Each structure stands twice: as C-alpha cells, then as structure tokens.
Structure 1
C-alpha cells in the first residue's frame, strides 16, 4: 500500500492540480485538521467515487481556535493519517506549515454573517471567521471542483455553503452523513481525550437528542422535549450542557415551523471535553 505524496507548498500543489485539470480530470478536496478517523475516511471515499483526483488537506488552523491550550493539545498524527489515507487511496496530501497559509503581513479575514452567529458562533467567538478564511484559502490553493464536509459539524457546513454561494466560488459542496461509533457517539478527534468512564457514557448525548426529536415528532412541545434531553444528559454524569436547540436547518434561526427542515443541535462537556452533535427533526 503506497501512501500519497505529501506536499507542503502551494506552488507544488498547483503543479499537480494544473496537470490533472489539463487532462480534464475532476478534483475533489477533503479539508481536515488531521488526527483522522473513520469519519474523515468516509469523506475521502465519497470523493474517490465522484472525482478522478482527490486531495486531503491536513492543516491545524490556528485561526479557528479561540483557546490557545486547545490549539496546543490538538493531536498531530501526520504519519498515521497518511497511512489511513493510503487505504482509500487519495492522490495527494497537502500539509502546509502555518507560514505557508498565513505568510508575514497576512491581514485578510473572511467573515460570514447570519448562519455563523448563533450556537457555536456565540460560544466560540471568531471560530467561524477562522473556518471561513482557511476554507476560502484552501479552495483557492487546491483549485478543487468539489469540497467534502461532514454533517457532524452542521453549522460549519452551512457556513461553507453560504460562503461559496455569496462569493461565487466555483466549488460544489457535498455534505456527508455523520459517522458514528457502534453506541451512537459521533466520531470526533476529540473523543480520544475522554476517560474510559467518560467514553462509556458519552453516547447519552446522541440518545437524549434522538429521544427529544422523537417526542417532538409525536406532538410534545419543543421546550419540554429539550428540557428532558438536557436532564438526561446531566443525569448521565456530563459536566454541563452548553446548549440544545431546535433550529431551521438552513438559516439556523429558531424555528417552530415543522413544515421546514429543522435540525436539533447540541453541545455538552464531559471529562473536560466538548462534544457536539446534531440530528434532523
């Protein structure tokens, strides 16, 4: 099994991409911050099915961390990541240094209003500016035709969709289903930081919001169903529930209109690890 070449510079990356484009090949990109798991690989496999060429980017983006400790603790596992990507396989891994992405004098920020403001935007100020800025750069660097993102980060997916729509960026965005552990916990690079005891109860986050969604569909009030979900999560031993909200799936504004697609989104802390999840309602 041969690992894909790892390139560090935009110049080298574009040399590969220009050759592919000259041959009429479609290029897909899977942006990641590394510490890859089955969720990331599912995105790469989807890209592999739909594109002649697949690039996976591995870049721990300092601009989307509002906590310096979080940035420092974020796992860097490039060698293991490359081995996993060889199983797909992808054609190229783009793993630049921070100064390649943000050279001296870099002063531009891409900010998406509306969908970026509630929920994660409220809890993590500046986070989505960092996401929007790096995604815009990665699209420009890779010159990709299609971009693959997981639905686990539902709000991030809506930010990226709005970004490409508003700025006429010629990239088709593909949102892929959340990949879960056998007990329902959404796969995340953060899960490895849970203690064994925490990991044994982490699935309750998913179970509680699933139960709330079922109750809402059966006619229970949104507020009561959400309150019961929060109580179940706290009773399981979570440190705290940051939010559980029922929102319009596209705009992320509060919604009590069952005729529109809605999403229940949640964030809670366990073992000092922040877990997020979301499901359709």
Structure 2
C-alpha cells in the first residue's frame, strides 16, 4: 500500500471512518515535520501494534510565542513523506493553517496545573496551543492510540491529562528519547546548531546522567540533585539555563525530599546561542 497524503480535515475523517468500519485499528503520530530517526521510531512502534498509522505534519502557530522560531522552523515535506513511507506509515495528514484555523475559529483548550511550570512558565500559551492542535488532530484522524516521544516530557503529561479529562478514549504511548551517536537528544531544531555547538550541547546529557547517578546512589534531596546537575552545566558557560530541576514524574511537583519509591524526572532547558534546547531523563525505581 502506497502512502496516501491528505490535506483536508473532512477527507481525513471520512478515511478514518471507513477504516474503522473495516475493523482497522488506527494510531496517530503527531509531528511538526522535519522528521528525524526519533519520529521514524514512533511510526515503527505504532505500526507494530496498529493496522494503520497516520502521521500528521503541521507547524502549529498557536504553540509558538511572538519571539519564537515559527517562521524559521525547518520544513521539508517531501523528505518527511519519504521517511514516513520507509517507517511503515500508511497515511500522512498535512493540513494548511487555514484548514486548521479558519477565520471564524475561536476555541482553545487550557490545561490546569500540569501545564503551568517549566515549559509553561517560560513559554506562556505554549500548552494551550499544543492541547488545541492535538485535540483537533485527534478529531481529524480518529485514532485508537497516539505516539509521542519522551523528549517533550511535560507535553506528554499535558496530553494525557487532556485525553483523560475529555474522555477521548485514546491510548497515549510515550517512547523513550532517541539520541544521536554522541548522546545529543534528537530534535528537529538540532539543524540550527553549529558543529561546535553540538559538542557543547552534550553538557545537558552529562548533567542529567549525573543526576541519575545520584538517585541510583540513594540521594533523595531535590536540592542536592539539582545543585550537582548545575555544577556540570556550569562547565559550559555558553549554555544559558532556564531551568534545571528534579520533579515527581507524574505531577511535576517538586518536594524537598523524594521518597524511595518516587518516580523522578530530571528536566533541563535553556539556550545555546540562539537555539533553545530541552532534555530530560526519568527514574522509575527499576533502572
């Protein structure tokens, strides 16, 4: 079966309805395009479990702030289509901005506490844009499940909250972050980095690994963990820290002391030159 490219919401809904009548299961992989191996891994994982994988490509203006990189965000739909096809995708939904947000459009979705800290603090309105577009993509593709990468950790919690609160009945699967051979977390925005900046960016992984090592050693003081991660980040003065924290993996709350069985996530964000980088690592107690 060749890859089918759909541009209208009504066409996508009709196709999904027909597939469901045939008894096919559907998984959705939402993306903003400029795909890399991390995205391909999501498509492959979805294809193992579901009959049909619909990948969406939409650079969503609602989730970008006024001084962010919406205009220069990398785009290459022909390359994306080739990657999707090779990974086992069957359909790709590529709507225009006018298709998603016509002139009369007025609705946004706001998520509560889980969206207020970290990315929500530094990117006001970001998660309203994310929740709104993902809800619309789900309405268009009508999936049984959706696949996301762990790299956008807080985003996965926001989407899970929305799906649960709005009784969407969609299984949200989160796949571990894929990394380049150097250890740098794969990201479409890595294209912005110079070779020297890519080397410098490895300090994020080093700091996160330091935090994980402390947790494995039994350290449960949040401040102690964070201080040691910041010591590592300080070895790269070009990296401008926005946040470097340890938090509860399910709520993102930050107690002074974690309990022995707490799931803990380590989160870092900041700027390297003009490029904003985020990364995280999670501790489940079984690592």
How well do the aligned residues superpose, as a CA RMSD in angstroms?
Answer: 1.4
- Are the aligned partners of 1:201 and 1:237 in contact in 2 as well (CA < 8 Å)? no
The yes-or-no answer on 1:277 pairing with 2:276 is: no
How far has the Cα of 1:239 moved from its partner?
Answer: 3.0
Query: Which deviations, in whole Å up to 9, do the C-alpha atoms of 1:52-104 show, x marking residues without a partner?
Result: 01100000000000135510010111000001111112111100001111111
Query: Which deviations, in whole Å up to 9, do the C-alpha atoms of 1:141-185 show, x marking residues without a partner?
Result: 111111111111010000000001011012111111111111211
**Distance in structure 2 (CA, Å) of the matches to 1:244 and 1:154:** 14
Structure 1: 5+ residue stretches without partners: none
**Distance in structure 2 (CA, Å) of the matches to 1:225 and 1:248:** 13
- Are the aligned partners of 1:3 and 1:85 in contact in 2 as well (CA < 8 Å)? no
How far has the Cα of 1:234 moved from its partner?
Answer: 2.8
The yes-or-no answer on 1:239 pairing with 2:235 is: no
**Distance in structure 2 (CA, Å) of the matches to 1:129 and 1:3:** 35
Query: For residues 55 and 11 of structure 1, do their structure 2 counterparts lie closer, same or farther at Cα, with a shift above 3 Å needed?
Result: same
TM-score normalised by the chain length of structure 2: 0.94
TM-score normalised by the chain length of structure 1: 0.96
Q: Equivalent residue for 2:267? A: 265
- Are the aligned partners of 2:233 and 2:239 in contact in 1 as well (CA < 8 Å)? no
How far has the Cα of 1:187 moved from its partner?
Answer: 0.4
- Are the aligned partners of 2:222 and 2:258 in contact in 1 as well (CA < 8 Å)? no
**Distance in structure 1 (CA, Å) of the matches to 2:59 and 2:8:** 15
- Are the aligned partners of 2:35 and 2:80 in contact in 1 as well (CA < 8 Å)? yes
**Distance in structure 1 (CA, Å) of the matches to 2:239 and 2:215:** 26
Query: Which deviations, in whole Å up to 9, do the C-alpha atoms of 1:190-210 show, x marking residues without a partner?
Result: 111001110122112111111
- Are the aligned partners of 1:245 and 1:266 in contact in 2 as well (CA < 8 Å)? yes
- Which ranges of 4 or more aligned residues in structure 1 deviate by more than 4 Å? none
Query: Which deviations, in whole Å up to 9, do the C-alpha atoms of 1:14-58 show, x marking residues without a partner?
Result: 222122111101000000000100111111001100100110000
Q: Equivalent residue for 1:34? A: 33
- Are the aligned partners of 2:206 and 2:232 in contact in 1 as well (CA < 8 Å)? no
Q: Equivalent residue for 1:157? A: 156
**Distance in structure 2 (CA, Å) of the matches to 1:268 and 1:40:** 23
Query: For residues 167 and 271 of structure 1, do their structure 2 counterparts lie closer, same or farther at Cα, with a shift above 3 Å needed?
Result: same
Q: Equivalent residue for 1:65? A: 64
**Distance in structure 2 (CA, Å) of the matches to 1:248 and 1:71:** 31
- Within 5 Å, give how 1:155-194 maps onto structure 2: 155-194=154-193
Give the 3-state SS of the residue equivalent to 1:247 in structure 2: strand
Q: Equivalent residue for 2:230? A: 230
